[in-house]
């Protein structure tokens, strides 16, 4: 599942290609035919990412909404279109460029009002300048749920997926099962700032690197494969900081990784 950094990169790239342009929209496999007809030959005003949701403003309250989910994928290229293949849900083009979308969880046209209702249900996004971290911090501080679950809950904080969850908690030295309400607000604000920095660099580099050079077995040059993360996908391997064995546990359907020594469990009464 793509994390927020990738969605924001898609939004920037597609805005660069299409913002302010009148675009052709069609739906080769027919599943989005009615939606495409509402948007075809209209000017696309802006493309915006909020967490894992993309919104394309076509004016007159018409908002194309896309959520890639687990299987959704974009492709892009220069015109002409390639031969349509597979379950091709949506194409957008100008005379110069095209994008194709396959397999999204959501691809629909929303009114301004239903867009606003959807946005009201999702938590602040560390990649947005207008995000208010206090909303996320307050939600976490009111919950007995484990911080490892809260970080992935898109109504608490949006855009964080499994890699960032694991790595942010390691960098904050927080045990993933620690209840949200036991974590000091200051530690959560620090975690938010770390999320802003890590996700911004993930967006620019198109690669998620969370290890500090000095902590890697090979500290000079670009992070080598196997040294880009502290705990994510490192089950049974030695922690770069303490040498202890990285643990893995299935948790709410996703894999949770942590270092038991660097992220000790805190007993909460
Ligand atoms: Zn460790």
Cα–Cα nearest to 157, from 190, 122, 189, 186:
122
User: Which of 15-19, 57-61, 194-198, 201-205 shows the lowest per-residue confidence on average (mean pLDDT)?
Assistant: 201-205
Residue 89 CA to ligand 1 center (angstroms) comes to: 45
Residues with CB under 5 Å of ion ligand 1 are 239, 241-242, 244, 259, 261-262
Q: What gap in Å lies between CA 104 and CA 12, rounded to an integer?
A: 19
Rg, C-alpha atoms of the chain: 20
* Omega before 78 within 30 of 0, i.e. cis: no
Percentage of the residues of the chain whose pLDDT score is greater than 70: 99
* CA of residue 200 to ligand 1 center, whole Å: 25
Q: How far is the CA of 240 from the centre of ligand 1 (A)?
A: 7
Phi and psi of 265, rounded to 5°? Answer: -70, 140
Q: How far is the CA of 245 from the centre of ligand 1 (A)?
A: 7
Domains of the chain (ranges; CATH) run 4-121 (3.20.190.10), 133-258 (1.10.8.50)
Averaged pLDDT for residues 125-141? 97
pLDDT score of 269 more than 80: no
Catalytic residues: 2-3, 52, 254
> Residue 128 Cα, ligand 1 centroid: separation in angstroms?
31
pLDDT at 204: 83
Q: Do the beta carbons of residue 22 and residue 11 sit within 8 Å?
A: no
């Amino acid at each position: 599942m793509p994390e927020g950094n990738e969605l924001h990169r898609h939004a920037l790239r597609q805005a660069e290609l299409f913002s302010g342009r009148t675009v052709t929209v069609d739906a080769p496999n027919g599943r989005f035919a009615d939606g495409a007809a509402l948007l075809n030959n209209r000017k696309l005003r802006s493309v915006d990412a909020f967490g894992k949701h993309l919104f394309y403003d076509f004016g007159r309250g018409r908002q194309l909404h896309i959520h890639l989910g687990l299987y959704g994928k974009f492709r892009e290229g220069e015109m002409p279109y390639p031969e349509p293949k597979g379950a091709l849900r949506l194409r957008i083009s100008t005379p110069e460029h095209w994008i194709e979308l396959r397999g999204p969880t959501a691809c629909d046209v929303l009114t301004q009002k239903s867009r606003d209702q959807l946005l009201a249900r999702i938590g602040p996004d560390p990649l947005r300048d207008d995000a208010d971290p206090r909303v996320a911090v307050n939600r976490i501080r009111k919950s007995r749920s484990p911080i490892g679950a809260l970080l992935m809950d898109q109504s608490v904080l949006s855009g964080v997926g499994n890699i960032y969850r694991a790595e942010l908690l390691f960098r904050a030295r927080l045990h993933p099962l620690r209840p949200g309400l036991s974590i000091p607000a200051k530690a959560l604000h620090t975690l938010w700032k770390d999320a802003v920095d890590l996700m911004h660099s993930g967006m620019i580099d198109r690669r998620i690197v969370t290890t500090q050079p000095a902590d890697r077995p090979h500290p000079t040059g670009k992070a080598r494969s196997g040294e880009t993360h502290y705990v994510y996908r490192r089950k049974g391997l030695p922690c770069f900081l303490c040498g202890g064995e990285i643990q893995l546990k299935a948790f709410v359907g996703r894999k949770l990784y942590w270092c038991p020594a660097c992220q000790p469990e805190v007993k909460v009464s």
